Amino acid sequence: MVKISPSEDEAWRRHLTFPYEDRWKLTSAPWRGEPRWFRSPNVVPLERYRTREDWRRICSVIWPRQW
């Protein structure tokens, strides 16, 4: 079994996923809370600094019917 560091894992995931800034060019589906990343290194998604419960509370305010 090969162990992968968190930074290698994130780099691999970024390779497979398009950045959030390009989302509107590639899909018309609205963002539903799934993990996302930004091209700019100084932009960090809010969900990285919140617990799952906090994130659900925030989403319930933004999208009341879905949470």
Q: Averaged over 9-28, what is the pLDDT? A: 84
Rounded to a whole number of angstroms, the distance between the first and last alpha carbons of the chain is 38
Q: Is the pLDDT of residue 67 over 60?
A: no
Q: Which of 56, 67, 65, 19 is nearest to 47 (CA)?
A: 56
pLDDT of 9: 81
Coil, strand, or helix at residue 45? coil
Q: Give the Cα separation of 55 and 52 in Å (integer).
A: 5
Q: What is the mean pLDDT of residues 23-48?
A: 80
Q: Does the reported pTM lie above 0.75?
A: no
Mean pLDDT, residues 53-65: 77
pLDDT at 15: 80
